[in-house]
Chains A and B, each alone.
Chain A
Amino acid sequence: AQTVTQSQPEMSVQEAETVTLSCTYDTSESDYYLFWYKQPPSRQMILVIRQEAYKQQNATENRFSVNFQKAAKSFSLKISDSQLGDAAMYFCAKSSGDKLTFGTGTRLAVRP
């Protein structure tokens, strides 16, 4: 079975600082996609960023960027200039065919 591991149940960052959330996964596939989703207190899942495994260039989306290490099966999310609105649960997910497998999430707190 595919597994996605988020080893940090909780993280905290000072407003305006940078934080990195970790994600590792298990796969025998060579082509797949990776995602980071944000779940704020409203509980609606919102896409943060998407990475295609065959692309070596790390995806970026404004203040959000990833560090994708395919050989290490690692996909970390960096949030720069953290804002109070970034406080949420963050889930890493990996595609396998037309399905997604999610990690258990990291709760991010932002200190004012």
Chain B
Amino acid sequence: DGGITQSPKYLFRKEGQNVTLSCEQNLNHDAMYWYRQDPGQGLRLIYYSQIVNDFQKGDIAEGYSVSREKKESFPLTVTSAQKNPTAFYLCASSIEPPPGGGETQYFGPGTRLLVL
């Protein structure tokens, strides 16, 4: 049963703490993405990766870090430098986009991050 899993479903962060959100896919997709969703706003791109051991910053990368050591996994770390981390985080994947883009992105169920 192929799909994208994210864990945990809820995550609580204390001030000054780094936390890591997990994203795993078994769709054999090359590209993976992290988005942040705030109330009243659409999804905003944090980081994306088209291939193992390579990733690019999106529109709101400050205060976040990622790694792509395996094709199936793309964890996101919310660092203490992210001053307003409370949001819903969505991971997505797609087959390798051609130069013009356009491949459909498939999403995981999301992780809600709350600050204590």
Contacts and interface: CB of A to CB of B under 8 A. Distances in A.
Contacts of B50: 98
Contacts of A45: 43, 90, 92, 107
A4 B44 CA distance: 12
Interface of A: 4, 31-33, 35, 37, 42-47, 50, 52, 91, 93, 95-100, 102-105
The SS class assigned to the A binding surface is: strand
Given A31-B100, A96-B101, A98-B97, A43 B41 contact: no
A112 B43 CA distance: 30
A-B pairs, 9 with minimum CB distance: A102-B42, A33-B102, A98-B97, A45-B107, A95-B101, A102-B43, A98-B101, A97-B101, A104-B42
Given A44-B109, A98-B31, A102-B43, A52 B88 contact: no
Contacts of B106: 47
A46 B106 CA distance: 7
Interface string B15-44: 000000000000000010000000011111
B74 interface: no
Contact of A32 (B31, B42, B45, B102): B102
B100 to A, nearest CB: 5
A43 B87 CA distance: 12
